Structure 1
Amino acid sequence: MARFVFLRRRLLRGRRPIWTLWLAVLPLLLSGCAVSEKHTVPPAQVRPALEATADQLIAQYNQQARAVRSINAGVEVVPVAGSSYSGVIEEYHDVRGFILAQKPAHIRMIGQAPVVAKNVFDMVSDGETFRIFISPKNKFITGPVSFERPAKKPIENLRPQHLLDALFWPELEPGKTVLFEEFNAEPARYYVLTLLRGSATLEIARKIWFDRTDLSITRVQLYGPGGRLVSEIRYADWQPAADVRYPRHIWLERPHDDYRLEVRITRLQLNEEIAAERFRLEPPPGVELVRMGEGDAAEKP
């Protein structure tokens, strides 16, 4: 016991104030931490962010919306049905085909099987009625574009007017309430325009995202009543065509319809007049006809 007390007293007599030790050690610790946490971002990944005002972005968006009046395109389409939320994901093979679209609301899309170039589906819409012919099933489906009822197979929720929303944009009308903000998701930086539904509500109708590296539109989100996200549309690979820039890569996601669609444009002609008969689609003889919204009863023509 006496020895312990003696040693302790010697230590106390010879010990320097503890704060002097910390002053000596702390710079070493800090310098070591600084080096271990330092990250260098490659110069190629650091791109300067462009500046723009809300009025400039609205004008740019409206100019793009006015510039495209019709589309005649060869495409490669990759459909994916289901999601992690539904528990089942079905990935389909690439489908090659064609898209015809003309304002205000006409669209036709033909999908063909690879190699044999045989039609798999043919669908049209005039803004009021949609018609879909599924060749392998010998089934012809028609109904109002406003009709909504989830199908047993999510891929059967695909409608031509869904794609039309991704190809053509409505102009932002003067006097509408539009919010303006910055959004950063390093290293990407965005401007976001948020259009509200009407003047007496705080519900979102549309969000438009601009990539600040070149101010191109990279994303459009469409909302329904009650804040329901109807469509998530992404754009990439903007290229000039007929004095207009247009994206060559489009992703369309319909979360409540439980399907996604990737569209790669391989050939593009803009603003050429498209004859009305090219948007006509009649049921072939002997096909199974399904009228949506009329009890979904099948009948033979």
Structure 2
Amino acid sequence: MLHAREKRLTRRLIKLRFTGTLPLWLALAGCAASQKHVASPTSIRPALDADQTQLAGSYNRHADAVRALNASVQMSPTAGSAYSGVIHQYHQVSGFVLAARPALIRVIGQAPVVATNIFDMVSDGQTFRIFIPSKNEFLVGPTQLERATKNPIENLRPQHLLDAFFWTPIRAGDPVVLEQVEAPPARFYALSVLRGSGSNLEIARKIWFDRADLRISRIQIYGPGGRLDSDISYADWQEVPPASPQDSVAPPPVNDRSAATQLIFPRTIRVARPQQDYQLSVAITKLALNTDIPADRFSLMQPAGTELVNLGAGQQEPQP
């Protein structure tokens, strides 16, 4: 009988020891599992398929469809950028953008709450004009002037935003290369549009399509020698109500490729200009497309008493 009692006591001790260590083993097992991450197949979004012709057609339809833009925006500059030299004291700036093809644009930035202008910029495709009230300066220069200056304020160019809003169509004879890009969990098609001929081809633009919905998520614009001039990201695409007949610009040609499609437009745009070392995020809060914008809305005259800075001439001239 004593022997049987000893065996029962031993079994109880073993059970108690195992029960006491069970939480520790479970904790250790949990720690070990947390160190190893295996991607779930569901974390990678299903990818839609398209060929080069379909992608180029989708891009061209949007490029053809947008002929004028009138938007209320919120602009957020990147710290240390050229734009922060003007609005460094504000985290976000309200503003307005007017644009009309082929190359007219006006951008007004206003201080929060008080709604006073921080900058007013226009470009007609040949010349840009910028008024900075806080500096009492009026900048003028050719749109092709892209050299960085010691004064970061002089790197501002309204046409940089024009490139983000109005896309250059892919012409029938343009060489185009299609590639697939894997960036888990996202997948992309990338169309590289080339310029030149023969052995002198170089990249002009790279257009990125998110394969989750085949919408354009990014456009990169290149200068001579493969220099990256603009890196523009697009997000939050939404449908745009059609403009009323009395507000619309001249109707598109009969063979316009945009006529049969619902117009959509991104509400979030980020423009990066690596050569000028600035980035600007633009959130569109109110949008009207293809409305008639009077020509005088793109006129910006030098205010009396301001200093004229002629960037093309590389010198400053006082207001006469």
- Cα separation, partners in 2 of 1:39 and 1:299, compared to 1, 3 Å: same
Q: 1:209 maps to which residue?
A: 208
Choose the corresponding residue for 1:124, options 108, 122, 125.
122
In structure 1, distance between residues paired with 2:122 and 2:59: 27
Cα contact 1:209–1:220 (8 A) shared by 2 = yes
Uncovered stretches (5+) of structure 2, i.e. residues with no partner: 1-31, 82-87, 243-261
1:223-234 correspondence runs (5 A) = 223-234=222-233
Cα contact 1:82–1:154 (8 A) shared by 2 = no
The aligned amino acid for 1:290 is: V
Question: Which string of whole-angstrom CA distances, capped at 9 and with x for unpartnered residues, describes residues 199-248 of structure 1?
Answer: 23231100000000000000000000111000000000000003410000
Deviation at 1:137, TM superposition (A): 1.2
Cα contact 2:100–2:293 (8 A) shared by 1 = yes
Deviation at 1:76, TM superposition (A): 0.2
In structure 1, distance between residues paired with 2:53 and 2:79: 38
Q: 2:132 maps to which residue?
A: 134
In structure 1, distance between residues paired with 2:153 and 2:211: 35
Range with greater deviation from structure 2 (225-234 or 193-202): 193-202
For residue 78 of structure 2, give the secondary structure of its aligned residue in structure 1. strand
TM-score by length of 1: 0.83
Cα contact 1:80–1:92 (8 A) shared by 2 = no
Deviation at 1:91, TM superposition (A): 8.1
Deviation at 1:154, TM superposition (A): 3.3
Cα contact 2:122–2:158 (8 A) shared by 1 = yes
For residue 146 of structure 1, give the secondary structure of its aligned residue in structure 2. coil
Choose the corresponding residue for 1:260, options 264, 279, 290.
279
Q: 1:277 maps to which residue?
A: 296
For residue 136 of structure 1, give the secondary structure of its aligned residue in structure 2. coil
Question: Which string of whole-angstrom CA distances, capped at 9 and with x for unpartnered residues, describes residues 82-108 of structure 1?
Answer: 47xxxxxx7852110100000000000
Range with greater deviation from structure 2 (115-124 or 139-148): 139-148
For residue 57 of structure 1, give the secondary structure of its aligned residue in structure 2. helix
Cα contact 1:233–1:253 (8 A) shared by 2 = yes
1:61-210 correspondence runs (5 A) = 61-80=59-78, 82=80, 92-200=90-198, 201-210=200-209
- Cα separation, partners in 2 of 1:38 and 1:261, compared to 1, 3 Å: closer
Q: 1:237 maps to which residue?
A: 236
In structure 2, distance between residues paired with 1:38 and 1:162: 42
In structure 1, distance between residues paired with 2:35 and 2:313: 68
In structure 1, distance between residues paired with 2:317 and 2:95: 28
In structure 2, distance between residues paired with 1:228 and 1:40: 36
Q: 2:311 maps to which residue?
A: 292
| Same amino acid, percent of matched pairs | 56
For residue 281 of structure 1, give the secondary structure of its aligned residue in structure 2. coil
Q: 1:3 maps to which residue?
A: none
TM-score by length of 2: 0.78
Deviation at 1:41, TM superposition (A): 2.3
Question: Which string of whole-angstrom CA distances, capped at 9 and with x for unpartnered residues, describes residues 121-146 of structure 1?
Answer: 00000000000000111110011111
For residue 147 of structure 2, give the secondary structure of its aligned residue in structure 1. coil
**4+ residue runs over 4 A deviation:** 33-38
In structure 2, distance between residues paired with 1:34 and 1:51: 36
For residue 93 of structure 1, give the secondary structure of its aligned residue in structure 2. coil
Give the RMSD, CA atoms, in angstroms: 2.0
- Cα separation, partners in 2 of 1:256 and 1:175, compared to 1, 3 Å: same
- Cα separation, partners in 2 of 1:231 and 1:40, compared to 1, 3 Å: closer
Q: 1:57 maps to which residue?
A: 55
Deviation at 1:262, TM superposition (A): 0.4
The aligned amino acid for 1:175 is: G
In structure 1, distance between residues paired with 2:79 and 2:150: 11
Uncovered stretches (5+) of structure 1, i.e. residues with no partner: 1-32, 84-89
Cα contact 1:154–1:259 (8 A) shared by 2 = no
The aligned amino acid for 2:295 is: A
In structure 2, distance between residues paired with 1:238 and 1:183: 21
Deviation at 1:39, TM superposition (A): 1.3
In structure 1, distance between residues paired with 2:40 and 2:315: 58
